[in-house]
A and B are shown apart, each in its own frame.
Chain A
Amino acid sequence: MSNPFPFSAIVGQDEMKHALLLAAVEPGLGGVLVFGDRGTGKSTAVRALAALLPKISTVKGCQYNCEAGRPAADCPVCNAPRRPARHQRATPIVDLPLGVTEDRVCGALDLEKALLSGERAFEPGLLARAHRGFLYIDEVNLLEDHLVDLLLDVAASGVNVVEREGLSVRHPARFIMIGSGNPEEGELRPQLLDRFGLSVDVSSPREVSTRVEVVRRRDQFERDPDDFCHRWAKADNAIKRRIMAARKGVAAVAVTDQTLALAAELCIRLGVDGLRGELTLMRAARANAALEKRNEVKMSDIVTVAPMALCHRLRRDPLDEAGSVARVTRAIDEMTDRPVGHA
């Protein structure tokens, strides 16, 4: 596989990149939903991000990406009597194609083994492969309903349970879900929408200079990918180090009662259902603080992440013409007593 396009070389789309970084720092956030026009570098950014993430340590031959030393109960490799060899592998990034079957997603009886040797073995699916990594769903709003059901369940519990064809397997499947799509092609089911921690809207850049820069970098990349990646390696490494540092630091970031109160008030004001909004807001703010190398969450963190953490959780009001991002910013402005743009 050739090099992916470097993350730092992606022109513009800062909000999307920021959201992806937050998700990478804090896996507990629950993933990112990127909604918007075609050709805005959604897939490119996701693939580029995977290249930035640290390698995960796992066991050779393990199909469940088990953490070394903490194997899944049903993993045949990790639970073998002989201690298996450990190795490092890149953070998995697994595509969930649209037309995929349920068997392929959650795993099923290994037909090959069943038919050829009569052995009843479980063949892990995409969810097992995405464990400890990313699950990327392009055109997430076109996904079949039965797959959405399946994903909802697994994303909520972090465990994939397969009960079929005489098999009974459960294995951990904790992944960061990244979805992308075009809202004009259909809405996303509210339950699935709620699973995504952050949501960002992207649109085609309209400034000429940005567009030109996109073409130029793409052209350079296609002519000589190695050289191009080499030139951006420094910037990429900086981001990589930032992610690593933030991952280490995120647990130690303190959240004051004051900021929590702000988050809660914001959610109440916007009428966000449930507590997931506050939780996500707090986690995202913490990740943001960690990314900025601070060990305390400030008001500014909340303000920065609030639009992406909350805009998809607002109850849809068909009669409100303003976009949900606008509603979030308006609420923040009202609360922080900053002048509202138009007086």
Chain B
Amino acid sequence: MPEIRRPASETKTPWQDALQAIDVLAVRAADCQSAARATPKGIGIRIRCSAGPVRDAWIAQLRKRLGSGSESVRIPASVSAEALLGGLNIAATLQAGRPLYEKGVLARADGGVVILPMAERLEPPIAALIAAALEAATICDRDGHSHRTRFVLIALDEAADDTECLPAVLADRLALDVNLEGISIRDVDAENPKPARTSNENGGAPVGQCMSQDALLGLAELTALLPGAPLRKLLHTTEVAGILAQCDGAPDVTPVHVRDAMRLCLNLTAPDDSSQTIEDQASDPSPPPDQTGRPSTDARPEDTSEDTREIDLDQLLADMAVSAQAASDRIVDEIRRPETAKAQAQAKTGKSGAQKNSSTRGRPVGHSSRPPYDGARPDISATLRTAIPWQRIRNRDLKTKGWTKDTRIRILPSDFKYIRYRHRSESTAIFAVDASGSTALARLAEAKGAIELLLADCYVRRDNVALVAFRGAHAETLLEPTRSLVRAKRSLTGLPGGGPTPLANGIQRSLELAGQARQRGQTPLIVYLTDGNGNIALDGRPDRKQAAADARKLAEAGAVQGFRSVLIDIAARPRPAAKDLAQAMRADYCALPHVSATAVSTIVGRYLSDQHG
């Protein structure tokens, strides 16, 4: 087997990785500034870290590296599309008395750095605009002028837990992905940054290093292993490997560059790389059989000019393939995990946090002097009505400001009146299904059927559906609130059933979901399918009495929060327990001994349309 010679200095710390990312960014930033290259495009990086000294240090380092030539623009997550794109500046136009256009933030950032703090809070439409500017390197403002936008985009992803994440439309277009979390500030201080080496300082460093055929093949295979087989990741990795080679002044892309690029772009480390010990490398298992079916020719490029850093490409790729497979499995597991699935569902549909209290449609409910949503246009008649009483005063006043053109009416930005709208919010039906006992499978299957039936015809009502199943020790969210039938079908394929009944936990989980739905401005409806008999207490102990008490307590808590709920009693012979529980949670009670998907979906459908009506 090929021996891996890796000097101790070769194992890189996360901070060194981060610095290497700076190198890559610096090269691109230089390209962006100079108009020499034909189509320089911007580059994006995703920094996963909460605000802190390490991140500040990284940004400071980047600033130092880029020098004073590039300005940085900070774009808040709450930025409006208008501000991003630019166009006619109405306020300035009115003041000046002639049309004044203003460049959007993105156009102003051309050739510089864009910093997106709290990028995980970006709304998908805004993220899509930024992503388009990054990728196309030009944007078209609201008035149809096109501007160049070549910049280095730094998306600071501060997602603390899995409930929020960067909108996929942007995340997919960010080439680099660096995690600063877990780096100690001491590591940062100890680091003496190596002197800047950009392509300029290398003088005649060859631009456009070529990657060997094998490396490209290997990378293509590797990215195909990742979930979704992202093609952009492949493009980005090859690009970054080329830039890294350019940084080193190497004529060709060596396996070292490929490895570093994979680490920076795909967050992949070779299995022995993470352990960072020489012993581990000594006991490195023999390379896995060439699982990819690549001809195992000696792929070592002839030119490995960089000092002793010489690693075998085949070995590297095999290692990485294992790693990618593991990462892929990990990611798939993550997606299966309810919490993350939720985060993605939220991030993708753009409802994380940010309660929407101003609507762009619906019934008009009066005027306001502030735009109720981005891009609102003033209501002309109301604006004129506001402006007219002031005309006599303004005519005198504005003459002194040099308004000579005779317009009949002077309007100032303060006169603007906007129409506010209100429309009904959407609903979320949360199914809490008792999956315990012998009839569990049938019951769950009917609940699943009911969900799919509801989803199949609920688009018009804009309803979301979620499913909580409780069995065994605790409740499980099988389906996060979703409107997508595709997604529901996928999440519902496996149906666990049987075991004892953790009713209290089921109620708790449903209430949590309902609370989240309400936070997003939706109206939750909880549908319990149970016989009202729990035998697992909230703490997971099998204690029938405690279980009943817990369930009751939670039911009352739910009643206090005022969630609308229905309890469908699915016991073959309905007993008072369920009815009592329904009373405690102030739910409507409905006995349905022969539960069927259509009956459940009819009942729930009626409740949902009631909410709308």
Task: Sample 15 A-B pairs with CB under 8 A, ordered by A number.
Answer: A97-B125, A97-B128, A99-B81, A99-B129, A102-B360, A103-B375, A112-B88, A116-B98, A142-B350, A165-B380, A187-B485, A204-B231, A208-B220, A212-B217, A318-B485
CB-defined contacts of A204 to chain B, threshold 8 Å: 224, 228-231
Does A101 count as interface, using CB distance less than 8 angstroms? yes
Q: How far is the CA of A97 from the CA of B136 in the complex (A)?
A: 14
A99 touches B462 (CB 8 A): no
Does B169 count as interface, using CB distance less than 8 angstroms? yes
CB-defined contacts of B460 to chain A, threshold 8 Å: 189
B486 touches A103 (CB 8 A): no
B349 touches A185 (CB 8 A): yes
Q: How far is the CA of A40 from the CA of B231 in the complex (A)?
A: 7
B238 touches A219 (CB 8 A): yes
Does B138 count as interface, using CB distance less than 8 angstroms? yes
Give the shortest distance, in Å, between A179 (CB) and chain B (any CB). 14
Does A274 count as interface, using CB distance less than 8 angstroms? no
Q: Which of B41, B94, B123, B230 contacts A222 (CB 8 A)?
A: B41
Flag the segment in B434-442, B447-455, B564-572 that touches A.
B447-455
A111 touches B377 (CB 8 A): yes
CB-defined contacts of A216 to chain B, threshold 8 Å: 216
Give the shortest distance, in Å, between B394 (CB) and chain A (any CB). 14
CB-defined contacts of B374 to chain A, threshold 8 Å: 99
Give the shortest distance, in Å, between A86 (CB) and chain B (any CB). 22
Does B392 count as interface, using CB distance less than 8 angstroms? no
CB-CB nearest in chain B for A227:
B38
Does A118 count as interface, using CB distance less than 8 angstroms? yes
A142 touches B231 (CB 8 A): no
Does A211 count as interface, using CB distance less than 8 angstroms? yes
B125 touches A99 (CB 8 A): yes
B229 touches A205 (CB 8 A): yes
CB-defined contacts of B99 to chain A, threshold 8 Å: 112, 116
Flag the segment in B42-50, B407-415, B470-478 that touches A.
B407-415
Q: How far is the CA of A146 from the CA of B596 in the complex (A)?
A: 36
CB-defined contacts of A37 to chain B, threshold 8 Å: 228-230
Does B39 count as interface, using CB distance less than 8 angstroms? yes
Give the shortest distance, in Å, between A189 (CB) and chain B (any CB). 5
Does B534 count as interface, using CB distance less than 8 angstroms? no
CB-CB nearest in chain B for A129:
B144
A-contact 0/1 string along B155-179, CB 8 Å cutoff: 0000000000000110010000000
Give the shortest distance, in Å, between B75 (CB) and chain A (any CB). 15
CB-defined contacts of A111 to chain B, threshold 8 Å: 88, 90, 377-378
B232 touches A97 (CB 8 A): no
A186 touches B349 (CB 8 A): yes
Give the shortest distance, in Å, between B144 (CB) and chain A (any CB). 8
B98 touches A318 (CB 8 A): no
CB-defined contacts of A118 to chain B, threshold 8 Å: 407-409
CB-CB nearest in chain B for A215:
B238
Give the shortest distance, in Å, between B28 (CB) and chain A (any CB). 12
Does B522 count as interface, using CB distance less than 8 angstroms? no
A97 touches B129 (CB 8 A): yes
Q: How far is the CA of A190 from the CA of B93 in the complex (A)?
A: 44
CB-defined contacts of A189 to chain B, threshold 8 Å: 459-460
Give the shortest distance, in Å, between A36 (CB) and chain B (any CB). 10
B-contact 0/1 string along A254-287, CB 8 Å cutoff: 0000000000000000000000000000000000
Does B533 count as interface, using CB distance less than 8 angstroms? no
Give A184-209 interface residues, CB cut-off 8 Å to B: 184-187, 189-190, 203-206, 208
Q: Give the number of residues in B that approach A within 8 Å (Cβ atoms).
A: 75
CB-defined contacts of B90 to chain A, threshold 8 Å: 111, 115
| Contact A39-B224, Cβ < 8 Å, known A1-B138, A318-B489 | no
Give the shortest distance, in Å, between A113 (CB) and chain B (any CB). 10
Q: How far is the CA of A114 from the CA of B90 in the complex (A)?
A: 12
Q: How far is the CA of A111 from the CA of B89 in the complex (A)?
A: 11
| Contact A104-B142, Cβ < 8 Å, known A142-B124, A218-B235 | yes
CB-defined contacts of A117 to chain B, threshold 8 Å: 407
A146 touches B98 (CB 8 A): no
Does A108 count as interface, using CB distance less than 8 angstroms? yes
Residues of B within 8 A of A (CB): 38-39, 41, 81, 88, 90, 93-94, 97-99, 123-126, 128-129, 132, 138, 140, 142, 146, 168-169, 172, 208, 216-217, 219-221, 223-224, 228-235, 238-239, 292, 348-350, 360-361, 374-381, 407-409, 411, 449, 452-453, 455-456, 459-460, 462, 483-487, 489
CB-defined contacts of A190 to chain B, threshold 8 Å: 459
Give A79-127 interface residues, CB cut-off 8 Å to B: 95, 97-104, 108-109, 111-112, 114-118
Q: Which of A112, A139, A206 contacts B229 (CB 8 A)?
A: A206
CB-defined contacts of A116 to chain B, threshold 8 Å: 93, 97-99, 407
Question: Which residue among B39, B94, B238, B407 has the maximum number of chain A CB atoms within 10 Å of its CB?
Answer: B39
B93 touches A115 (CB 8 A): yes
| Contact A316-B456, Cβ < 8 Å, known A97-B125, A99-B125, A187-B483 | yes
Q: Which of A98, A218, A319 contacts B449 (CB 8 A)?
A: A319
B230 touches A104 (CB 8 A): no
Does A292 count as interface, using CB distance less than 8 angstroms? no
Q: How far is the CA of A203 from the CA of B231 in the complex (A)?
A: 10
B172 touches A39 (CB 8 A): yes
Q: Other than the known A97-B128, A184-B486, A205-B231, what 5 A-B pairs have Cβ atoms closer than 8 Å?
A: A97-B125, A104-B142, A142-B350, A184-B484, A211-B224
CB-defined contacts of B459 to chain A, threshold 8 Å: 187, 189-190
Does A339 count as interface, using CB distance less than 8 angstroms? no
CB-defined contacts of B223 to chain A, threshold 8 Å: 211
CB-defined contacts of B88 to chain A, threshold 8 Å: 111-112
Give the shortest distance, in Å, between B76 (CB) and chain A (any CB). 16
A223 touches B230 (CB 8 A): no
Q: Which of A145, A146, A211 contacts B234 (CB 8 A)?
A: A211
Give the shortest distance, in Å, between B146 (CB) and chain A (any CB). 7
B238 touches A98 (CB 8 A): no
Give the shortest distance, in Å, between A121 (CB) and chain B (any CB). 12
Q: Which of A101, A104, A144, A225 contacts B39 (CB 8 A)?
A: A225
Does A336 count as interface, using CB distance less than 8 angstroms? no
Q: How far is the CA of A37 from the CA of B231 in the complex (A)?
A: 9
Q: How far is the CA of A95 from the CA of B93 in the complex (A)?
A: 27
CB-defined contacts of A103 to chain B, threshold 8 Å: 375, 377
CB-CB nearest in chain B for A183:
B486
CB-defined contacts of B229 to chain A, threshold 8 Å: 37, 203-206
A39 touches B97 (CB 8 A): no
Q: Which of B169, B381, B462, B487 contacts A139 (CB 8 A)?
A: B169
CB-defined contacts of B230 to chain A, threshold 8 Å: 37-39, 204
B380 touches A109 (CB 8 A): yes
Give A122-179 interface residues, CB cut-off 8 Å to B: 138-139, 142, 144-146, 165-166
